[in-house]
Amino acid sequence: MTEAERKVDWSEATGYKITDEDIERARLLLGYDEASARRDTSRIATEDNIRAFAHSIGCDNPLYCDEDYAATTRWGGVIAPGTISLHAPLRGDPRPEEIARAKKSLFRGIHQMHSGTSWEWYRPIRPGDTVYSFSGEESLEVKPSQYGGRTVHRTSRDVQFNQDAEVICVRRTTLVHSERSTAAKRGKYMDIEPAFYTDEQLAEIDAIYAAEHVRGAKPRHWEEVAIGDPLGAMGKGPMTVSDIICMHSTGFALLPFGPMTGRIRHKHKQKMPKAYVKNKNGIPDTIMRMHWDDDWARALGSPMAYDYGFQRECWLHHFLTDWCGDDAIVLRMSSEMRKFNYLGDFQTITGEVTGKREDGGRRLADVAVQMVSQRGDKTLEAEATVALPSRARENPEYPEPPADIAARARAFLERHRELEGK
């Protein structure tokens, strides 16, 4: 077989268009919350899967990874990083017919990118906790694409809660839908070359890692923090396919499009054939492989494979918790993805204190954080609020969740148990 004969035609897979019908159907979903039936790799938190998740993002903070150490902290045991991937299926009533019709094959064949996420935390996850959620679409905005066509910006809200209906966090994620053929026109990025590192450059990276410090048991008191203080520096990368594998192996399933294998993949492909596109060898593989397959990434307009936005969120939380120490609480963080983080790229994370204030009896530090690649590109900008311990008061506590969200969590869990017959 000649090279020309072997060449895979991706024109069909990249030819889908955003339609007015898609947009109108998406608008019908606004304000509708439903129980999330998703099942991640783990549904119940344990010391082992908490440690595995922390390790998958390069975090060895003993508060998450060492049961003996964690027992000596204010928490009395291991707690999970706030961004951990845990989820148990939540039973709920069937979708109304009009919602089911609106969701079916919505934006089929349309590329989507993670644009940004905000998190608000209300309690930690501890070993033994089962994590459920309900979710829904909050907003939709249609914008013209600079490359022709349209893009659709959708923000969804996911409310996580435990087996006692206690709200853990509220996460809002913005996804940008764009036509794959339009994405492929982003020619200005295609001349970016893969990173290559000399031994001297690798030594500089090693020096960043060697200088990283986990604040841990030494409290970072609010009184000692000043506006303009740097938060230090953290390294992430150079990113490899191994980093992607680590994310998926510890819970980040990204259903229904994540990597699957064997008979499970076969069954899923029968159910969702458009979720699979042939690779250069003619083998159908997940459309999500732009995160490790350079050929498919180039077909979508990227010079090479790139990371998950969720990875950078996890790195952001790691950076914040290393800085603030065991006694503090990261209350909220909000991030925007500015540029791609390609395979081979190295990110340096830095930040500074931008504000100090008191609110609700808590002493807070507002911070700004950025990630910058070895090319000098700012790939992420973020802001966060951290409740710090005070010399004059006890350690900070989590705030109460909004009353309406807490009531919704209780109602969803009650209905779940009714449907389970418990």
- Answer yes or no: is pLDDT of 333 > 90: yes
What's residue 185's pLDDT? 53
- Any idea which of 185-194, 218-227, 389-398 has the lowest mean pLDDT? 185-194
Mean pLDDT of the chain: 92
What's residue 169's pLDDT? 98
- Count the domains in the chain: 1
* CA–CA distance, 264 with 268 (Å, rounded to integer): 6
136 within 8 A of 143, measured Cβ to Cβ = no
State the pLDDT confidence band at 119, using cuts at 50, 70 and 90: very high
- Answer yes or no: is pLDDT of 17 > 90: no
Beta bridge partners of 138: none
3-state SS assignment for residue 191: coil
* CA–CA distance, 388 with 328 (Å, rounded to integer): 5
Residue 117 C-beta-side C-alpha neighbours within 13 Å: 20
171 within 8 A of 118, measured Cβ to Cβ = yes
Residue burial 86-117, b: 16+ Cβ < 10 Å; e: rest? bbbebebeeeeeeeeebeeebbebbbebbbbb
State the pLDDT confidence band at 274, using cuts at 50, 70 and 90: confident
75 within 8 A of 124, measured Cβ to Cβ = yes
Sign of CA pseudo-dihedral 23, 24, 25, 28: positive
What's residue 102's pLDDT? 94
Which tens digit of pLDDT belongs to each residue from 66-85? Answer: 999 999 999 999 999 999 99
- Any idea which of 46-55, 137-146, 213-222, 329-338 has the lowest mean pLDDT? 137-146
- How many residues belong to the chain? 422
Q: Which residues contact 243 (CB under 8 A, 6 or more apart)?
A: 237, 307, 311
Task: Give the helix, strand, coil percentages of the chain, each rounded to 5.
Answer: 30, 25, 45
- The two three-digit tokens of residue 241, written as one number: 């396919």
Beta bridge partners of 35: 134
* Amino acid code (one letter) for 337: M
- Any idea which of 6-15, 98-107, 296-305 has the lowest mean pLDDT? 6-15
DSSP per-residue letters across 303-357: SS-B--HHHHHHHHHHHHHHHH-TT-EEEEEEEEE-S--BTT--EEEEEEEEEEE
Q: How many CB atoms lie within 10 A of CB 305?
A: 23
CATH number at residue 98: 3.10.129.10
- Answer yes or no: is pLDDT of 145 > 90: no
Greatest mean pLDDT among 9-18, 153-162, 268-277:
153-162
For residue 412, give the DSSP letter. Answer: H
Which tens digit of pLDDT belongs to each residue from 198-239? Answer: 999 999 999 999 999 999 999 999 999 999 999 999 999 999
Domain interval for residue 286? 3-420
* CA–CA distance, 397 with 399 (Å, rounded to integer): 6
pTM attached to this predicted model: 0.92
What sections of 20-81 are H helices per DSSP?
20-28, 47-56, 62-65, 67-70
Q: Average pLDDT, stretch 324-349?
A: 97
Name the pairing type of β-strands 276-278 and 284-286: antiparallel
Q: Is the peptide bond before 256 cis (omega within 30 degrees of 0)?
A: yes
Residue 204 C-beta-side C-alpha neighbours within 13 Å: 10
DSSP per-residue letters across 206-244: HHHHHH----TTS---GGG--TT-EEEEEEE-S--HHHH
Q: Which of 129, 39, 124 is nearest to 79 (CA)?
A: 124
- Answer yes or no: is pLDDT of 114 > 90: no
